[in-house]
Structure 1
Amino acid sequence: MNIKDLQRENIKTLKPYSTARDEFKGQASVFLDANENSYGSPLPANYNRYPDPLQLDLKDAISKIKGVPIENTFLGNGSDEAIDLLFRAFCNPGKDNVIILPPTYGMYEVSANINDIELRKVDLLPNFQLDLEKIAEAIDANTKMIFICSPNNPTGNSINRTDIETILANFKGLVVIDEAYINFAKQKTFIQELIEYANLVILQTFSKAWGLAALRLGMAFSSVPVIDILNKVKPPYNINQATQDLALAALSNIQQVNEWIKSTVTERARLTAELEKISIVKKVYPSDANFILVAVTDALNIYNALVNEGIIVRDRSKVSLCEGCLRITIGTIDENNQLLTVLAKI
């Protein structure tokens, strides 16, 4: 597959913005090229210089953990930036379409609407797995991307690996697998398959297991042609220096992150078992994420009752296939106990 055939014609000929840091290569001590404040910044750390536009030091540290070469890695202002750039680079407004698989992460639809791209929805089966037959029926010559969230948000389950491989092997557009919650799953990442499929894009994030949601740092892994195109269309300095510095520091503390993952998985099992004992809970769906989807007797009133007690969950009762359901993030032991106490009283 030639990835360049998938991109928009105007992107093929686009000349990206050339930054001062792109034009200079080598070592220097006096920088008078980028119209920065040469005196420094009013902070303990100096942030007066523009950051590395390609975040090479941070990507190098990530590659040591993920096993993905720098040239196959893109960093975005959250995964949302990578999602938006995929639309902007590969989808022609008013002409092309993408497929999403509800219930799923809402930003795929928002980005499609912002970029004037037709959205084709193929609902998951009742067991929250892919309907391969209907997906095949939805694909036409103008279908550029299929988004698969696994583990899926808001249902929490992993998508059958063989079904994803079937799509990868047969679809001639980009297959975007959103692995935001992969750290909490038994199923392994699709990163190992990058060398087999040029059309595979994997999204991961620092917002979940890494506990860095406030930094807004997302990762996309793909073949070199896809990454080159994303780097071509991104804003010049999309990842600020403070984020790069803090993420680098966090990567040196992976042991703490792994401990949090183990605690979350343990609490997920405990919370599931305790919720199943409560009369207003109809079903707790199996989860590979750091949240669980819970079917209850009266979602809206239970949600409001929790709010009144200062406990906030997510009401997903109006989402396709999630009627009557609340999505509950796995909290600390104390937070989960508070939730269980209030639900028992309700």
Structure 2
Amino acid sequence: MEDIVALVRPEIYAMRPYTSARVEGDQSARICLDANENPYPPFPGGPEQEGLNRYPDPQPASLLGRFADIHRLPIEQIFLSRGADESIDLLVRGFCAAGRDAILITPPTFVMYETAAEIQGARVCRVPLNPGSFQLDVDAVLAACDADPGIKLVFVCSPNNPTSNVMERASVLRLAAELRGRAMVVVDELYVDYSGQPSLAREIAGQPNLVVVRSLSKEYSLAGERCGITLGHPELIGVLRRIMPPYPLTVTAIRAIGAAISPAGIAYGHRNIARIVAERDRVREALSQSPAVIEVFPSDANFLLLRTEDPRRLCAAMAEQGIKLRDRSSLIDGAVRVSIGTPSENDELLQAVKLYASSGPSPVPIRHRGMSSDT
């Protein structure tokens, strides 16, 4: 506990959190006249709108209990937010004072870490991933933390966005062990269920400065409802509760999340994940054979990263066919990110790439990259 408290901004740790109407007092009251709510449900006022006029529980006990069962952690180690983005923002605000503290990121990686730091006025230290493997350069990260004691958060995306690979477990655990009392190691595991690898959340008991961020967006089809799950030491969860907004989750989100994490919902999600993984492998193999593609990287996520001669031209050509891809060449030379869709959507993509290749200027040589040991 002391290791975490020493890293938290003192003014945050000392503050008294805002308590909403749904936190104070007895929540089983028969008539609630404490929150200035409109007593009537919204239009059209039918059964589907029942309860939408009432403020929800900020941290619904039913969801916390279910997530505790799923992740095999006590409820005190779980925090729910409006998507993983909000969790990232709260972590930066809780640990990094403007103009004094810093975060460390390992580009190419998810840009939200940097954005949250810039909003907070925190410095950003960058230690690139190893170019050949896109794995962590652990020695370089530790050296950067030695050189800058103001680094309070080290963000690790695994599987990484946009490179799609899982980080070596031993590397992450080494970082957590050597940075204990010096920095929190935040592992973004939004895509981990596509990797076949276990979550690092089970390591929190032995590494209290380890934080795992998950969501239901990528793996359980709830991107539209916004739910992030932060798993960490109870002291860390207490910090997030101090500074969270009064009502992170909507009533409709709570209902949808409850259905998604029911036993039937989990089974449904697992079936969809298996279908996406099978399609990922099929699409990767097909794209690897296209003369329009230089390289398709192995993937542990629900997307593929490929390299092509002209990313802008490829994306524009796909857009003309009504297919939207993501140009990531600003992060990695020649890179385009391709999400895995339904079989029919993927067939359309492959046909469009075939047409593009046949009408392109000059084919580029195909270079296949070997599969990594963690794929």
Same fold by TM-score, threshold 0.5 exceeded? Answer: yes
Unaligned runs of 5+ in 1: none
Which of the numbers 85, 95, 99 marks the counterpart of 2:100?
95
Q: Per-residue CA shift, 1:203-233, capped at 9, x if unaligned?
A: 0011101001000111100000000110111
Indicate whether 1:9 and 2:19 are aligned.
no
1:131 aligned partner: 137
Question: Which residue number in structure 2 is paired with residue 232 of structure 1?
Answer: 242
Residue of structure 2 aligned with 1:250, choices 240, 260, 274: 260
Q: 2:105, 2:156 within 8 Å by CA — same for their partners in 1? A: yes
Aligned residue-pair number = 344
Which letter does structure 2 place at the counterpart of 1:56?
A
The one-letter code of the counterpart of 2:178 is N
* Aligned-partner Cα distance in 2 for 1:296–1:76: 37
Q: Secondary structure at the match of 2:156?
A: strand
1:162 aligns with 2:163: no
Task: Show the counterpart of 1:21.
Answer: 22
**Which residue of structure 1 aligns with residue 345 of structure 2?**
335
Equivalent position SS for 1:147: strand
* Equivalent position to 1:60, from 43, 51, 65: 65
1:207-226 alignment, distance < 5 Å:
207-226=217-236
Partner Cα separation in structure 1 for residue 330 and residue 33 of structure 2: 56
Deviation at 1:41, TM superposition (A): 3.4
Please give the alpha-carbon distance, in whole angstroms, between the structure 1 residues aligned to 2:261 and 2:206: 28
Please say if 1:344 is aligned against 2:349. no
1:309-328 alignment, distance < 5 Å: 309-319=321-331, 322-328=332-338
Question: What is the CA–CA distance in structure 2 between the aligned matches of 1:27 and 1:189, rounded to whole Å?
Answer: 36
CA offsets 1:238-271 (integer angstroms, 9 cap, x no match)? 1121111111012221111111010011111111
Q: Residues of 2 paired with 1:313 and 1:79: CA distance?
A: 22
Code of the aligned partner of 1:133: D
Residue 288 of structure 1, aligned match among 276, 289, 300: 300
Give the residue type in structure 1 aligned to 2:53: N
SS in 2 for 1:245: helix
Instruction: Report the counterpart of residue 370 of structure 2 in structure 1.
Output: none
Matched-pair identity in %: 38
CA distance in 1: counterparts of 2:326 and 2:139, whole angstroms: 31
**Structure 2 portions without partners, runs of 5+:** 357-375
Q: Is the 8 A contact 2:97 2:122 kept in 1?
A: yes
Could you tell me how far apart the structure 1 residues matched to 2:124 and 2:110 are? 14
Partners of 1:27 and 1:46 lie apart in 2 by 15
**What is the CA–CA distance in structure 2 between the aligned matches of 1:134 and 1:67, rounded to whole Å?**
33
Distance apart, 1:75 and its partner CA: 0.6
Deviation (angstroms), 1:26: 5.6
- The 3-state SS of whatever aligns with 1:120 is strand
Instruction: Name the CA distance, whole Å, in 2 between partners of 1:148 and 1:272.
Output: 25
1:27-49 CA distance string (max 9 Å, x none)? 32111222222234334322222
Q: CA deviation at 1:68?
A: 2.2
**Residue among 286, 291, 294 paired with 1:274:** 286
What do the CA deviations read for 1:83-124 (whole angstroms, capped 9, x no partner)? 000111111110011100000001001001000000001110
SS in 1 for 2:22: helix
Q: Distance in 2 between matches of 1:248 and 1:340?
A: 36
The residue that corresponds to 1:105 in the other structure is 110
Could you state the TM-score of these two structures normalised by the residue count of structure 2?
A: 0.89
Aligned residue number for residue 303 of structure 1: 315
**What code does the residue aligned with 2:88 have?**
I
CA deviation map 1:249-298 (0-9, x unaligned): 12221111111010011111111111111111111100000001011122
What's the secondary structure of 1:188's corresponding residue? Answer: coil
Query: How far apart, CA to CA, are the structure 2 residues paired with 1:150 and 1:78?
Result: 17
Counterpart residue type for residue 169 of structure 1: A
| Contact 2:294/2:309 (<8 A) preserved | yes
1:118 aligned partner: 123
- Secondary structure of the structure 2 residue equivalent to 1:75: strand
C-alpha contact 2:51 2:251 (8 A) present in aligned 1: no
* Secondary structure of the corresponding residue to residue 202 of structure 1: strand
Matches of 1:186 and 1:259, distance apart in 2: 13
Tell me which of 184, 202, 211 is aligned to 1:174. 184
The whole-number CA distance in structure 2 between the counterparts of 1:26 and 1:238 is 18
Q: Which residue of 1 aligns with 2:86?
A: 81
Letter of the 2:167 partner, please give it: I
Does the C-alpha gap of structure 1 residues 39 and 159 become closer, same or farther in structure 2, counting only changes over 3 Å? same
Q: How does 1:180-219 map to 2 (within 5 A)?
A: 180-219=190-229
| Matched letter for residue 152 of structure 1 | N
